[in-house]
Amino acid sequence: MSEIPFLKTPEQAAFRDHMETKVAHWLTQWDGVEAIQAGLIGLPLSKPSISHSGASTTPAAVRAAFKSFTTYSLEYGVDLQTLPVRDLGDIQMHPTDIRECHRRIQEGLQALYEQQPHLVPILIGGDHSTSCPSIQAFAARYPGKRIGILHFDAHHDVRNLEDGGPTNGTPFRGLLESGVVEGRHIVQIGIRGFMNSKAYHDYVKRHGVHIFTSRDVRRLGIDAVLDQALELAGDGTEALFVSFDVDVIDQAYAPGCPAVGTGGMNPWDALDALYRLGQLPQVQGIDFVEFDPTVDVRNLTTRMTVQFMLTFLAGLAERLRA
């Protein structure tokens, strides 16, 4: 092929500026041995979604969007290309068995954490049902100790299990009823009106879950909300996990979410929160879930989620630098 003028492989033929590093060229595949600080893991599952969803295609869409982003942020004064982060691949899902998929997520992540005990996982769903087994695996890293959860979402996600088994609406009921986490160590941020039933609101309050609505974020400001959330979730806990359902963002910015709605958080609040959370040593894991690239508009939701992920990593880089 090299003997034919201008005929190159697709990768060779693509434009590349030698003075910038794209995320696609930095966040490379893990060799299975290298000690890394953080790792991207895809959870391509959307069969448990109670509404139509192609969220199983999200990990691939996120990776495809990496070519549009550089590793440098002038806002935070950080270049991620020195941060030891790798793409670890996807957890392989069963074609039809949802509970088997959840078992594979938990078992696969637990084995990974045993091999890489200091890894900060960056999990890309998938629907929100993946958070129950992934947080169970996360909690197993701290035997005999408690974990806290910061849960960004428009929904409580505590639907009953009798009507449909484990779905994208049940992860936090599963965690509460299995005793993986105490309600007083869960803080839900961005919950919206007309998207939850009174029965489920009463359920989380009865279990001691702390709630900050989207209106609270708008009126109090994200910094004040996060101050309180960190104090509550961090009280007596060893580590914090962040579960970020992208439908917490207003529908104007997140058209690719199956459960779009008015009155959600704006992206700047999320960016500020994620950068701050990345800086904190007690935050040891995060997931991004619940958007569907197959219904997205010009990849807006996918690109926004990549920006969220990179901003969290910018905070992590600052954590390590400090």
Q: Give the E-state strand segments of the chain in sequence order.
A: 38-43, 72-73, 78-79, 85-90, 120-125, 147-152, 186-191, 210-213, 239-245, 283-289
The verdict on whether residue 163 carries a ligand-binding annotation is no
Token digits for 224? 């004040």
The verdict on whether residue 90 carries a ligand-binding annotation is no
Whether omega before 164 lies within 30 degrees of 0, making that bond cis, reads no
Q: Which residue in 296, 321, 285 sits closest to 113, CA to CA?
A: 285
How far, in Å, are 24, 149, 303 from residue 221 at the CA level?
Answer: 34, 20, 24
* Cα(277)–Cα(322) distance, integer angstroms: 14
The verdict on whether residue 247 carries a ligand-binding annotation is yes
Q: Which residue in 161, 167, 211, 168 sits closest to 186, CA to CA?
A: 211
Q: Which residue in 168, 52, 122 sits closest to 274, CA to CA?
A: 122
183 burial type by CB count under 10 A (0-12 exposed, 13-18 middle, 19+ buried): middle
Count of CB atoms situated within 10 Å of the CB of 304: 22
* Cα(322)–Cα(212) distance, integer angstroms: 30
The verdict on whether residue 31 carries a ligand-binding annotation is no
The verdict on whether residue 245 carries a ligand-binding annotation is yes
The verdict on whether residue 223 carries a ligand-binding annotation is no
Q: How far is CA 89 from the centre of its chain?
A: 15
Residue owning tokens 């569907």? 292
Which residues are annotated binding-site positions?
128, 153, 155, 157, 245, 247
Which residues are annotated binding-site positions for Mn(2+)?
128, 153, 155, 157, 245, 247
